[in-house]
Structures are given as C-alpha cells and as structure tokens.
Amino acid sequence: MPVPSAISLNVSESQHDLIITRPTTGLSLRGRIRVPGDKSISHRALMLGALAEGETTIEGLLLGEDPRSTAKCFQAMGADISELNTTLVKVQGIGLGQLLEPLDVLDAGNSGTTLRLMLGILASHPGRFFTVTGDSSLRSRPMSRVVNPLRQMGAEIWGRKEASLAPLAVQGQSLRPIHYHSPIASAQVKSCLLLAGLMTEGQTTVTEPALSRDHSERMLKAFGADLTVDLETCSVTVTGPAKLKGQTVIVPGDISSAAFWLVAGAIVPGSDLTIENVGVNPTRTGVLEALEMMGADITQENYREAAGEPIVDLHVRYAGSTSQMPLKACRIAGDLVPRLIDEIPILAVAAAFAEGTTVIQDAAELRVKESDRIAVIANQLNRMGVRVTELSDGMEIIGGETLTGTEVDSHTDHRIAMSLAIAALNASGTTTIQRAEAAAISYPDFVTTLESLVVS
C-alpha cells in the first residue's frame, strides 16, 4: 500500500490491523469523493429483485460483505443474480412465493438485515424448509423481535433459547395477517413483517413507536405492492397476496458511510471535503441534524431524486480556530435516535472535539448491534484519552481532551473500525486499529479513500 507523505497508513501483514501515524506537523483532508451504495437499499434491491417477476437492474449496489451475504442466500434459493464484481447488477426474479428450498444452510454472515428480513420471506413460503445462520456476532444478536410477531402470524420457527438466537430452522407456512405494535422503532422488524405480509392474504400492519428508515416502503411501492403509510401513527399496511414486478433501482451513496467523512471534515483542522451523491432520505438524516446542532459547517448542494430516494452532494469544512474547538456539545435522544442509530459511534468521536458534555440517551439498541457499540466505543475512545462514561442507554462524552495514539480494537464491528480510524487522525503518534478489516462489511475502499484525501 502506498504511503503518502502526510500520514502513514498501513495494513499489517495479517490484514487485520490498520496503523495510522499522524505527522507532528498535522494533516488535513481535502477532496471530492463518492461513498459506496447505501447498505439498507442494496439489501432490499437484491431481495425484492429476487422475489419479483422479470428483471431488476440495480445501479450503484454496495459491493460490501453484507450485500454479498444477501446475494448468496437468494442465489441458493434460485434467484439468478449477476456477479457482484461491478456496481451494476442484474437480478432475474423468481416470482413471489417461488423460492426454492435451499440444499444447505443459508448463511447471513455478519448481516442482521439479511437474516431478519429474510426470515419474513422464508416463514411465508409454504412447504419449504430452511435453516439459517450467521457469524459469531450475528448468532448472539436477538432474533425474538422478529420471531415472536412472525409466530403470531402462524410461523413455525425453531432455535436456541425459544428461537431467539440463530441458527434457526423455519418451516414455511401460509400465514395470517396481524396488526403488530412493535415495542422498538426498527426497520428490520417492520420490513420483516411487511415482507411476510406480501405472501399473506389480507392486511398486515406494523405500528412503531417512532419512524424508522422507510426504504422498504418506498421500494415495495415501486415494485408494485399495495402499501399504505400513515405517518401520524407511524403505521404501514401491506395487502397481500402481492405481485412484484422487476424494476430499475438506483442506489444512492450511503449517508452512514458519508458520516465518517462529515465528522473527519468537521474535526480535522484545515479540512474541506465534498461527498457526492449521498442519499438524504429524511428517515436517515439525523446525523446531519446532530452535526448542525454541534455547529459543523455542512452544506447540501445539487438536490435531486433517483428511483424514489432524495440525493445531494454534501460539503463539509473545518470550522474551528486556534482559540475555539471545532464543535460544541449537544444532546441526542428521543425520536432523533432511530434516524441516526448507526452513526452514534462516529458522533461519539465528534463529541470528543466538542466544547462541553455531549449526552446520548434512548439508544439502548446500540448494545445489540454488530457489537455492544456503547461499551466498545466508550472503552476504545477511553484508551485514546477521551472522557466517556457509559449510560445504560447511551453515553456522556466530555469534549476537549488531547487524544493519544495507542492500540485499539474494532471488536470486528465495521462502524467501530472506521470511527476509530477517524479519531486516530486527531490523535498524536501512532494508533493501531486491530481487526480493522471489518470495514469491508459496508465500506471496502475505506482505507484507499482515506489515503486519497490526506494532505500535509
């Protein structure tokens, strides 16, 4: 890997460690980049493409490990998906209810979205038997949040601890429609049940306590499903049985990946970055609101829409000075949380460079993500000198400490790996991020992009 003059970035021989050494003279990030395709939209495009009749063309698919897991699972059930070696992918759909019984265990890898959404599809395929699993992280994540409502619909699912943990076995059934009041705002729960509802005669409704990301709703409508949304009550109803027709899906850049550069641009002195083609679906833009509260200098340019999703170019400039910290503390809680849930690790990094105490609450969900993101980011940032205190449902971060490079660990969580890399840009000396290869789950080119942006 080339070593630019301003910073040395090394992936160690084991390909597991990312080593970042900040020069004593400092560095800036400058340039125009694109981030890879949105992970949530990529999963859904592959799944709906597989379930639709006819061909679906996906432009801008994320070629990360997670969508690859989705593609493999649906290929094993008969969908014809072109090779994921370019972001232009074609899916020959097999038709709703027509998935084949796979001859082996379906492996969702590290991907909660793959496993939870797929369970709704499998449970509603009468006469087929499926077994599903994932990596050690996914096998420890709660599945009862989808298994319980699916069982209310008549699903037959078995597994450890009352089928709350993968591996799971599913005997597909004709399900009955329900109105499910979800205790959590979760797009995975909502989408799982809507997908089960596609094959179920009658109206399946999901009501959630706050609005979670609505990519499933937008894409299901585009594929021809009969779907109604009531924003007042945060309810969605799908009427089955549905018929889906192949579409062209244009996947915008992932705002969750752009968030790393937004925070880097806001905290690394002298930075000026443009991130083109970023999806700004309002159910995902909590990170922009949080950074605005913190005083970051971010502007949105060239608003347009593609395949039902809003897109902009984001421009971020460092706004600090020698006498002033670049950001100010804020409070992140309530309905804002589901709209920035995946960005909390990188917002914790931003908070380390904000004047005052940033408080993050109502985010207990973070404890059951790819890692316990509250404990992991708090511990790893503590190691670098940040004053973070864990709360049961969030954390408190006191900004303003000087960060020192040291050994930190991603705990195989992609978003933790990248958050720590951004923190390292403002830490003195050398930071070694162990198990940083996890970034490939959602951002395979993260290190190369970082290298391209660093200037001395």
CA–CA separation, 386 and 423 (whole Å): 10
Position among 28, 40, 431, 449 found at the interface with ligand S3P (CB under 6 A): 40
**Of the two residues 213 and 435, which places its CB atom closer to ligand S3P in the complex?**
213
**Of the two residues 84 and 267, which places its CB atom closer to ligand S3P in the complex?**
84
425's enclosing H/E stretch is helix 414-425
Q: Which residue type occupies 292?
A: E
CA–CA separation, 245 and 233 (whole Å): 29
In a 3-state reduction of DSSP, which class is residue 418?
A: helix
In a 3-state reduction of DSSP, which class is residue 258?
A: helix
Catalytic residue selected from 107, 342, 409, 413? 342
Position among 187, 354, 395, 453 found at the interface with ligand S3P (CB under 6 A): 187
CA–CA separation, 86 and 79 (whole Å): 18
String of contacts with ligand S3P for each residue 298-337, x by CB under 6 A: ----------------------------------------
In a 3-state reduction of DSSP, which class is residue 70?
A: helix
Smallest Cα–Cα separation from 403: which of 377, 376, 433, 430?
A: 430
Q: Which residue type occupies 411?
A: H
Smallest Cα–Cα separation from 57: which of 216, 187, 223?
A: 223
CA–CA separation, 369 and 387 (whole Å): 23
Does 191 engage in binding with ligand S3P (CB under 6 A)?
A: yes
**Shortest separation between residue 341's beta carbon and ligand S3P, angstroms:** 5
Q: Which stretch binds ligand S3P (CB under 6 A): 57-65, 183-191, 316-324, 355-363?
A: 183-191
Q: Which stretch binds ligand S3P (CB under 6 A): 3-11, 131-139, 180-188, 395-403?
A: 180-188
**Would you call 17 a catalytic residue per the annotation?**
no
**Shortest separation between residue 332's beta carbon and ligand S3P, angstroms:** 15
In the range 337-376, which residues lie near ligand S3P by CB under 6 A? 341-342, 365
Q: Which residue blocks in 124-240 are alpha helix, DSSP H?
A: 144-152, 160-163, 187-198, 215-222
**Of the two residues 46 and 453, which places its CB atom closer to ligand S3P in the complex?**
46
# residues near ligand S3P by CB under 6 A: 11
Does 186 engage in binding with ligand S3P (CB under 6 A)?
A: yes
**Shortest separation between residue 193's beta carbon and ligand S3P, angstroms:** 12
**Shortest separation between residue 263's beta carbon and ligand S3P, angstroms:** 18
**First CA to last CA distance, the chain:** 18
Does 114 engage in binding with ligand S3P (CB under 6 A)?
A: no
CA max distance for the chain: 68
- Reading the block at residue 61, the tokens are 């698919």
**Shortest separation between residue 363's beta carbon and ligand S3P, angstroms:** 10
Does 113 engage in binding with ligand S3P (CB under 6 A)?
A: yes
Position among 56, 182, 188, 432 found at the interface with ligand S3P (CB under 6 A): 188
Kindly tell me the sign of the dihedral angle through the C-alpha atoms of 144, 146, 147, 152: positive
**Where on the chain is the footprint of ligand S3P (CB under 6 A)?**
40, 113, 186-188, 191, 212-213, 341-342, 365
Residues with catalytic annotation?
A: 342
